[in-house]
Structure 1
Amino acid sequence: GMFGFEMIHPRIRGVDEGEALPTALTPVYPTTAGLAQSALRKIIGRALDTHRLDELLPDSLRRPLRLMPFGEAVRLLHQPPTDVNAEALVAHAHPAWRRIKFEELLVQQLSLRKAHAQRRARTAPPLRGTGQLTKALLAALPFSLTGAQRRTEAEIATDLAQPYPMQRLLQGDVGSGKTIVAALAMLRAVEAGWQAALMAPTEILAEQHYLKLATWLEPMGLAVEWISGSLSKKVRAAALERLASGQSMLAVGTHALIEDPVALPRLGLAVVDEQHRFGVRQRLALREKGSAGSPHMLMMSATPIPRTLAMSYYADLDVSVLDELPPGRTPILTKLVSDARRDEVLGRVRDACAEGRQAYWVCPLVEESETLDLQTAIDTHARLSEQLPELKVGLVHGRLKADEKRATMAAFAAGELHLLVATTVIEVGVDVPNASLMIIEHAERFGLAQLHQLRGRVGRGTAESVCILLFGKALSDTARARLKVIFEHTDGFMIAREDLRIRGPGEFVGAKQSGVPLLRYADLENDGDLVEQARDLAEALLREQPALAEAIMQRWVAGRESLLRA
C-alpha cells in the first residue's frame, strides 16, 4: 500500500486463551468447485492420520541415496513444522521433495523397463539376408556413408536379426542423413522376404522420402508404393492390391498407411519419421498391420533428445545417434535483423537470386490459427511479388491441394521459381541444394526446434548459406532467450538442451500423446542426478528384487498401464 506492506483479505484463525499453538504450518491447496479449503484440509488431515504410508525401500537402499522415509516426507509436505526451511520447501529443494521426486522417477524407470522386457517377450521375424541388396545400393550411391551412418546401420542390422521386435530411435540433426539409414534397414527386410513401410506425418515429408527411396531402389528392380490420401481411388486401389498380394514389398506414405483397407500381410519393418508427431495409437496401428507377430520398429527424429530426457521418457527405446554431418555441407550463417531493416533484406534476396541462387521466405505463425496463417502467407506472397517484380515467386501452405503443393515444390526444386513463400509446411524434409538464403519473418513466434528445423532447409549445397531471423519490436524475455540460442548455436543437441530448459519436457516430447505421463514433481532440467540414481536402482530392483519393484509401481500406478509406452 501507500505506507508499506499490507494484507489483502487475510484469513484469521482465533486461538482460545490457554490453547496450544499449532505445531505445523497451515497448507493451502489448489481448490476445485464445491470443495472449500477447510474441507480439503480436513480430508487430507484425516487421511494422514488413518493411513500408514509404508516405507517400501529398505534402509540398505534408502540410506546411501540420502532419502528420508516416505511417510515422513509426505507428512512434512502436507503439515510442515513451523521451523521448516520455507525457501527450500517452496523451491522443491527440501529433502522431503527429494524423496517424492526420486520415487516418482523410480516408478517411471521401472514402468519403462517393464515395457522393454515385455517387448522382448513378443516375437518378430528375424530379418537376416545375404546383404547383397545393401551392397548393391551402397555401390550405386553417388556418396559414401559417414562413420556415424555406418555405425547406426550396423546397430539396426543387429537388432533386425533378433527374434523379438526392435524398437530403436534413430536421432540425427537436420541433414545428418537418416533416410539412407532407413533405406538400408528396409532393404534388409526385403532380402529376408518381408515387407517394409515408412510413415511420415506430412505429405511433403512423406513424398520427399518416397522420391529418394524410388530413386535409389527402383533401378535395382524394387517397386516403392506411394500411399496418400490425395491419390485417386483407382491408383490407390492398384497400389493396395500389389501390397496385399505381396507383389510389392515397400510402401511409403502418410497416416493413410494405417487406414483399414491397407493390408501389409508380411510387414517385417515399420519406420516412423518425426515419431513425436504421431500418437501412441497411430504407432500401434502401423505395428498391427503385420500379421505374423510384431514388426520391428525404427523411429526417426530430427529433434535431438537431451540425455536426461532420453533416460526418462525414452528409457524403453534403444537409441542410435547420427552425430556427424555428411561432408560437403557448408555451415549456415545466422543473422538477427530487426523488422525495421526489411528493405535491406529484400535487397539481399534480389542479389542472391541475381547470382542464380534461390531463397525461402517463411511466414510467421499467428496464434496457432491456420486461417490467419494462410491469409498472412497469401498477403506476403502478393507483397513480395510486387516488391520483387523481376523474380518468380511461388507460394506453398497447408491448405493447398496436394498436387498443387507438389507442382510448386517441383518447380522450385527445378529452379523455375526464384523465391518460395511458405508457412511451416517446409519445416522438415524439403531438400533443394540451390536454395542458400532463408528469411524467417517474426522469428520470435517460433519455437527453438522449429527454427533449427527451418534453418536446416538451406546449407544443403556448396554455396555459403544464410538464415536471416527477422524480429519485431516488442520481444518477451523468452523470445529474446530463444533467438539468442539459435543465433549462437548450430549444434542440434545444444539447442535441444536449451529448448528443454526454456519449455520444459511436456511440449518437448509431445508427452501428452506419447503414452508416458508427464512428471508431476521431478524436473528433468534440475534433477538429472536423481534420474541417474533412479535408473540404476530400477535396473537393480528388477534384476534382484522384482516383487519389491512391483510393490513400488503399484503404490503409484495402481494398475494404470498408461505408464507403459506402446
Structure 2
Amino acid sequence: MPETKALSEPQKALVKMGLGRDIDLALHLPLRYEDETRIVKLGDCREGDTAQIEATVTESHVAFRPRRQLVVTVNDGSDTCQLRFFSFYPSQQKALAVGTRLRIRGELKGGFIGWQMVHPTYKAAGGELPQALTPVYSTVAALPQAYLRKAVQSGLARADLSETLPPDVPPAPARATTWTLQRSLRFLHHPTPDVSLAALEDHSHPAWQRLKAEELLAQQLSQLESRREHELLRAAPLQARPGGFQEQLLAALPFQLTAAQRRVGEEIAQGLARTTPMNRLLQGDVGSGKTVVAALAAAIAIDAGRQCALMAPTEILAEQHFRKLIGWLEPLLAPRGQRVAWLTGSQRKKERAEMLELVASGEAALVIGTHAVIQEQVQFHRLGLAVIDEQHRFGVAQRLALRGKTAGEGNEPHLLMMSATPIPRTLAMSYYADLDVSTIDELPPGRTPIVTKVISDSRRDEVIERIRAQVASGRQVYWVCPLIEESESLDLTNATATHLALSEALPGVLVGLLHSRMPQPEKKAVMSLFTGGQMGVLVATTVIEVGVDVPNASLMVIEHAERFGLSQLHQLRGRVGRGAAASACVLLYSAGDNGRLGETARARLKAMAETNDGFEIARRDLEIRGPGEFLGARQSGAPLLRFADLVLDAALLEWAKDVAPHMLDRHPELARKHVNRWLGGKSEYLKA
C-alpha cells in the first residue's frame, strides 16, 4: 500500500478551515484588498491614508523610551516619515540600515508633527508593481497570508467552474446575470485598481451579485430536496380523542392556557394526526409557557399508545421538566400502570438499568433526560414523539440519532423542537423550508416587567449595595460570570474570586457557587438550597442560562455583559421576573484598554436596555450578527450563508425560490452538481 504523505501545518489548517476542495479555495473570498499597484508621495498624503511609498533610510536607531523600539527615518524627496517597530530582530536592523532604498506600505499617522508608520511592511525598492489589488483573506495563525494566497490561486485554476444554471431558467435580477461564475470569482480574487472599492466592500458589484444568487439557489435547492424527501417518510398518526388524555390534562391544570398556547397546541395536534412525520419548531419567548404545550403534545402521543421522549441540554433543565411533567402527567398515567422515566449520564448503574427496562417494556410512557436518551443502549418500545428543548444546543447528529430510535418499525417519530431564541420571520421562511414553525407570541398573565440597567464595572460597589437591600427584603439574587470556552480554568478563577468577594461583602448571607466542573450531586445540593430559598445569592457560570425557575429571584447581575451574545443575555434575564415582585437585570460591563466598548458590544447592551421583547431582540441580533452566525447550530457551527444577506438580497432570494423547483424537476443532474459545489457534504445538515 503506498505511503500517504503527512500533512504540513498549513495544510492541516486549510482542512480545519473547511478548504479541502479546489472549489472551497475558489469560494474563499478576500476580506479586503490592499492597493499595491501604485507609489504615492508623502507630500500628497492625508492623515489615516494607507500609503505605499519608495524612500531612502536617512537615520536608524534603537530608542528605549517610552519602551524599547527601532526608530527608522526615511525620506521620499517630498517629506520624511518615521517608521516604528516595537518587536524587531538584528536582521531587520540590517535591512533598514542608513542609505537603503525601500518600498514601504502602512497607515500614516501625524502629518502636522511629522509622518509616522507603526510596523509597516517593507521590501527593497524597485521591481514591477502588481496590476491588480492584493487580496487579504481571513486565516488562522498556522496559515500565513502568502501561503493561503498561493493555495487559493491554484485552487481557482484547478476548480471546475462550468455553468450549472440551465438556459431555460428565469433570468436572475439584472446585476446578477451579467457575469458568469468563473469571471466573477477570478475578478473578486484579483480586482483591477480602477474598480470602486465601495462596491466590493458592500457586495453590490455585479460579480458579488452573481455569487449571492448562486449561493441562495444552492440553499433553496437543498431545502426543497429535503422537504420532498421528508414528505415521503411515514409516521404513525397520533389522534387526540374526545375525553382523552389531553382533555383530562387540560382540566387538571391549575391555570388557564393563553390564547397563543391554545392556538399552538391545536397546530401541533393537527401535525401529529398526519401520516407524514411532524417536523415542527415551537418558538416562544422566555417564560411564554412552552413546557405545558409540550406536555399536551405528549398526552396525545401517550393516549395513542406511543411513547414520548423529551431531551434537554442540561441536567438542571431536564430535572426541571421532570418535576413539572411528573406533577401534571403522573396522576393520569398511574391508573394505566404507566410512569415517567428519567435518564441522565450521572445516574448510578442500578437506577439506570431499571430505567432502561421501563423504557424497553413500554411501561415508561414518557422518558425525560439529557443526551443519555439517545445512547445506543436505550431501546424504546414504541416511540411516537420526540421533543427537543433548546434545540439550538443540540447538533444535527443528535437529532438524527433520536429519529433513528424507531427505524426498526419503518416509522419515523414526530419531532417537536422548542426554542426560547425566537427566529425572525424572514429567517424562518428561508432557512427552515423543511420545518413548520409555531410561535407563542404572548406571555402568561402575572409576569412582571424586568427593568434592565447597563452599568460600568467601576460602580460595582453600588450594585453590591443593591444586592444587600434585595436580600434584606427577603428576595434572592443571581450573579452570572461569563464562561470563556477556551479557558475554563480562567472562568473558574473568576467565578471563585467573585464568590469570595460577595461572601465577604455580604456577611450573614448564604452565597452559593455553581459552575460546570462541579460534580452533579454538588450542583443539585446548591440548586436545591437556592430553589428552597435558604441561599440569598447564587454566583454561577452560564449553567443557569436555561430552565431555572425561582419565582423569588428578583435581581440578575451579569458580569462582563459585553462578552455575551444577545440571545444569551435575553435568556439569562428571563431567569428573573417569574414572580410578583418587581425585578431588575444589571448588565455590568468592563471597557477595553482604551476605555471604550466595541461597537457590537455597545449595540447588544443598548438593545437589552431598550426592549424585553424576545422577537425584537432576535431581529436586532440578526442585524448585529448576520444570519450565518444566528443559525450556526443548524449546520453544526458553520454559517449557512457566507455571502448573501436575507434582508438586503430579498429579490435574489425570491428568484432562487422560483428557480429551485424548476431545476430539481427538469435538470436534476445540474441541481445536484450546483448543491455539491456550494454545500459539499453540508447539505445533509440541512435535512435534520
The normalised TM-score by structure 1 is: 0.90
**Structure 2 counterpart of 1:454, from 572, 582, 592:** 572
**Structure 2 counterpart of 1:153, from 261, 265, 271:** 265
C-alpha displacement of 1:100? 2.0
Aligned partners of 2:635 and 2:682 also within 8 Å: no
> What is the aligned partner in structure 2 of residue 297 from structure 1?
415
> What is the aligned partner in structure 2 of residue 546 from structure 1?
665
1:246 is the counterpart of 2:381: no
Question: In 2, distance between residues paired with 1:425 and 1:165?
Answer: 33
> Computing the radius of gyration over CA atoms, which structure comes out larger, 1 or 2?
2
- Can you give the 5+ residue segments of structure 2 that lack an aligned partner in the other structure? 1-40, 46-50, 54-103, 105-121
1:70/1:123 CA distance change after superposition, 3 Å: farther
- Can you give the 5+ residue segments of structure 1 that lack an aligned partner in the other structure? 16-21
C-alpha displacement of 1:364? 2.9
Aligned partners of 1:517 and 1:563 also within 8 Å: no
**Structure 1 counterpart of 2:631, from 509, 526, 550:** 509
Aligned partners of 1:501 and 1:525 also within 8 Å: no
Question: In 2, distance between residues paired with 1:418 and 1:45?
Answer: 65
**Structure 2 counterpart of 1:443, from 558, 561, 565:** 561
C-alpha displacement of 1:70? 7.0
1:255 is the counterpart of 2:371: yes
**Structure 1 counterpart of 2:231, from 101, 120, 138:** 120
Measured against aligned partners, the alpha-carbon deviations of 1:480-526 in whole angstroms (never above 9, x if no partner) come to: 22111111121112212222222233332224744986223213353
Residue identity opposite 2:52 in structure 1: E
1:223 is the counterpart of 2:339: yes
1:482 is the counterpart of 2:604: yes
The normalised TM-score by structure 2 is: 0.75
Question: In 2, distance between residues paired with 1:38 and 1:372?
Answer: 38
C-alpha displacement of 1:270? 0.6
> What is the aligned partner in structure 2 of residue 194 from structure 1?
306
Question: In 1, distance between residues paired with 2:136 and 2:603?
Answer: 33
SS state at 1:156 partner:
helix
Residue identity opposite 1:56 in structure 2: P
**Structure 1 counterpart of 2:207, from 76, 84, 96:** 96
Question: In 2, distance between residues paired with 1:47 and 1:408?
Answer: 57
Measured against aligned partners, the alpha-carbon deviations of 1:93-150 in whole angstroms (never above 9, x if no partner) come to: 1223212211211221111121111111011111114251111111111111111111
Output aligned runs, 1:377-526, within 5 Å. Answer: 377-474=495-592, 475-511=597-633, 513-514=635-636, 518-526=640-648
1:469/1:309 CA distance change after superposition, 3 Å: same
Measured against aligned partners, the alpha-carbon deviations of 1:516-549 in whole angstroms (never above 9, x if no partner) come to: 86223213353244334423443x527xx61236
Question: In 1, distance between residues paired with 2:682 and 2:159?
Answer: 26
1:72 is the counterpart of 2:180: yes
1:53 is the counterpart of 2:156: no
1:94/1:549 CA distance change after superposition, 3 Å: farther
1:203/1:227 CA distance change after superposition, 3 Å: same
1:296/1:128 CA distance change after superposition, 3 Å: same
SS state at 2:367 partner:
strand
1:110 is the counterpart of 2:221: yes
Residue identity opposite 1:402 in structure 2: Q
Question: In 2, distance between residues paired with 1:87 and 1:385?
Answer: 55
399-408 or 430-439, larger mean C-alpha shift? 399-408
Question: In 2, distance between residues paired with 1:81 and 1:339?
Answer: 49
1:180 is the counterpart of 2:292: yes
C-alpha displacement of 1:309? 2.4
SS state at 1:452 partner:
helix
Aligned partners of 2:450 and 2:577 also within 8 Å: yes
> What is the aligned partner in structure 2 of residue 170 from structure 1?
282
C-alpha displacement of 1:6? 2.8
C-alpha displacement of 1:306? 1.9
Question: In 2, distance between residues paired with 1:137 and 1:411?
Answer: 31
Question: In 2, distance between residues paired with 1:320 and 1:247?
Answer: 31
Question: In 2, distance between residues paired with 1:185 and 1:470?
Answer: 40
SS state at 1:98 partner:
helix
C-alpha displacement of 1:36? 8.5
Output aligned runs, 1:16-31, within 5 Å. Answer: 28=135
Measured against aligned partners, the alpha-carbon deviations of 1:49-95 in whole angstroms (never above 9, x if no partner) come to: xx753642536x106x3254476353145246776545323421122
1:108/1:406 CA distance change after superposition, 3 Å: same
SS state at 1:562 partner:
helix
> What is the aligned partner in structure 2 of residue 18 from structure 1?
none
> What is the aligned partner in structure 2 of residue 352 from structure 1?
470
Aligned partners of 1:100 and 1:521 also within 8 Å: yes
Measured against aligned partners, the alpha-carbon deviations of 1:137-180 in whole angstroms (never above 9, x if no partner) come to: 11111111111111111111111111111110111111111111
Aligned partners of 1:436 and 1:464 also within 8 Å: yes
Aligned partners of 1:433 and 1:460 also within 8 Å: yes
Output aligned runs, 1:136-151, within 5 Å. Answer: 136-151=248-263
Residue identity opposite 2:166 in structure 1: L
Question: In 2, distance between residues paired with 1:527 and 1:27?
Answer: 27
SS state at 1:6 partner:
strand
1:264/1:36 CA distance change after superposition, 3 Å: closer
Residue identity opposite 2:371 in structure 1: H
Question: In 1, distance between residues paired with 2:528 and 2:349?
Answer: 23
Question: In 2, distance between residues paired with 1:157 and 1:184?
Answer: 9
1:310 is the counterpart of 2:428: yes
> What is the aligned partner in structure 2 of residue 563 from structure 1?
683
C-alpha displacement of 1:367? 6.1
C-alpha displacement of 1:258? 1.0
Question: In 2, distance between residues paired with 1:83 and 1:223?
Answer: 73
Question: In 1, distance between residues paired with 2:524 and 2:487?
Answer: 23
Residue identity opposite 1:6 in structure 2: Q
1:322/1:13 CA distance change after superposition, 3 Å: farther
Question: How many residue pairs are counted as aligned between the two chains?
Answer: 552
Question: In 1, distance between residues paired with 2:487 and 2:433?
Answer: 35
Residue identity opposite 2:168 in structure 1: P
CA RMSD of aligned residues (A): 2.9
C-alpha displacement of 1:377? 1.8
**Structure 2 counterpart of 1:322, from 428, 434, 440:** 440
> Higher strand proportion, which one?
2
C-alpha displacement of 1:550? 5.1
Question: In 1, distance between residues paired with 2:458 and 2:195?
Answer: 53
Aligned partners of 2:550 and 2:575 also within 8 Å: yes
SS state at 1:62 partner:
coil
C-alpha displacement of 1:414? 1.6
Question: In 2, distance between residues paired with 1:418 and 1:489?
Answer: 28
342-351 or 550-559, larger mean C-alpha shift? 550-559
